[in-house]
Structure 1
């Protein structure tokens, strides 16, 4: 009679064989990263990187939200960013650049957990960082999780095995992003110690990608130019890498702010584009626009008044709003949509300012603010946001307005982390 160990080994071998068949032979797609994600929005938790006031309007057009960055990212600001964006209105991926950015709360908030691997960096970038991450899961996050969830101690031996299971399960549930970093003048390159000697030719990139798919089983191969468009060089690499991959998704990120560049990398073989900087630039621009609008327009300005004022103030086609929306292949008229969203944002900002002035000195507590908001039939931005959010997120417009007003009126209140929103 076979031993329990032998049965377990046979079962694991059979499971492994089925998994390999699903990836290579069978006409099924077993990659957990959805194939329909053609556009990903990268959201940086760094304090300086703000979100547009009515950010769900823009994010309704993307496939998923990837939360992470290479500079000034902490567990706290990652939690805050995920609290704002997760599920509003798209699934969120946490992509940590450091182990302590992963907390029990971020694991609950994010729909996906992505582990970066740098294929052309130093040993620390692909092995050391992952090793320190496993150590953190086993020695800190895992025990803290058990202490929080279990009513009684398990005992040292059993607890160690359960923590090992927790760590293995966390990594098993994760998706791995195998990066090829090609812009030396970027935080990502500095973090991974990518030098001139580490830049890859198309053939070398193809070979690294094959290792990522076959040996590392990376769900994503990510060609990263980080803030700079890779142009013809990126197209050549994507063409070679795309031909070599059969299971891993191929993503491109870097300098995407036009329909032309997006179409070039998708035609070269990328499964999805990742757009980041220009999304945060929307927030920077709208903060200035809204401040000017509050000075120039009255609180009862009509929709037409605001459209006319906006046309005088800027060329909408040249705004970051239009540039971001132009990177979404399914959107036919990004400039018209940008104008619509900017006008809605200015309307909301004017209404917020009027409401703040009305309540200033009248409310002194969170309870009084809640009562004042409950009396109103319509809140700033409420209709626009409610139209793009799911049924389980219909409280978000009110929570956002309450958070912004509590911050502005200096009230002690439990609120959303509105310091990450561009318009205060």
Structure 2
């Protein structure tokens, strides 16, 4: 499994409910991977329940914990761990990560670091991290260079979380990114939006639309980035 070749990521929230038959429909959509991820009220029990639902989908399954101390390795193909570059508190940059390393066993062969820039102040992750979201495209691009050249992060994640973002931001990041893989997530609920962001990002992430519009929306977004 070469995660660097993914073009379409489906993000599923352990705190949300999928309808009957949804997993089979998601698996048939053409998406590359299932990412289990949520910001609020994600318990080990809810994560385990969601994993049990998707484990036989035939797709790679990865987890992206809001807090690295909540990472699960059992059964997961990879663990994507965010560090929020524009968080107002260092706890979300490296503090939680230090607690994770100090107190939990880690399978480093499965860990992929993500440099996050959160750009929706109304989102749960924006509120939780007190992220500075009023950033110009060139500022976000500068974060991407810092992430790649200074911190040597493998992923740069542009996160609008629940709202459709500014394509100029994703374009600016794409123009400076060399080896770092660019993910875009937020508000993609149509093929048109997927195509617009997909021309700049290496992979798009579709999450809320699966719950708001149903899994059928995935086929249009997958086709748009192939």
TM-score (norm 2): 0.90
Instruction: Please say if residues 87 and 129 of structure 2, whose CA atoms lie closer than 8 Å, have aligned partners that are also in contact.
Output: yes
Give the CA deviation at 1:252: 0.7
Instruction: Please say if residues 120 and 199 of structure 1, whose CA atoms lie closer than 8 Å, have aligned partners that are also in contact.
Output: no
1:254 aligned to 186, 194, 218, which one?
186
2:10 — aligned with what? 41
2:100 aligned to 130, 133, 139, which one?
133
Counterparts of 1:229 and 1:322, CA distance in 2: 19
1:82 aligns with 2:51: yes
Residues 121-144 of structure 1 show CA distances to partners (whole Å, capped at 9, x for unaligned) of 12111111211211222xxxx3xx
Give the CA deviation at 1:57: 2.4
Give the CA deviation at 1:172: 5.0
Give the CA deviation at 1:202: 1.2
- Structure whose residues are more often strand by fraction: 2
Q: Which runs of 5 or more residues in structure 1 are unaligned? A: 1-30, 143-166, 283-319, 333-424
Q: Give secondary structure in 2 for the equivalent of 1:180.
A: strand
Q: How does 1:288-303 map to 2 (within 5 A)?
A: none
1:327 — aligned with what? 221
1:224 — aligned with what? 159
Closer, same or farther: CA 331–189 of 1 in aligned 2, 3 Å: closer
2:126 aligned to 189, 192, 213, which one?
189
Quick check: which has more Rg, 1 or 2? 1
1:115 aligns with 2:81: yes
Counterparts of 1:216 and 1:326, CA distance in 2: 35
1:173 aligned to 110, 117, 124, which one?
110
Instruction: Please say if residues 121 and 194 of structure 1, whose CA atoms lie closer than 8 Å, have aligned partners that are also in contact.
Output: yes
1:203 — aligned with what? 138
Residues 61-99 of structure 1 show CA distances to partners (whole Å, capped at 9, x for unaligned) of 111011010010011211221122135121011111124
Closer, same or farther: CA 219–114 of 1 in aligned 2, 3 Å: same
1:53 — aligned with what? 20
Q: Which runs of 5 or more residues in structure 2 are unaligned? A: none
Q: Give secondary structure in 2 for the equivalent of 1:237.
A: helix
Indicate the RMSD between aligned Cα atoms, in angstroms: 2.1
Q: Give secondary structure in 1 for the equivalent of 2:121.
A: coil
1:273 aligned to 174, 182, 204, which one?
204
Counterparts of 1:229 and 1:330, CA distance in 2: 16
Counterparts of 1:216 and 1:171, CA distance in 2: 17
Closer, same or farther: CA 32–133 of 1 in aligned 2, 3 Å: farther
Counterparts of 2:212 and 2:145, CA distance in 1: 35
Closer, same or farther: CA 88–114 of 1 in aligned 2, 3 Å: same
- Structure whose residues are more often helix by fraction: 1
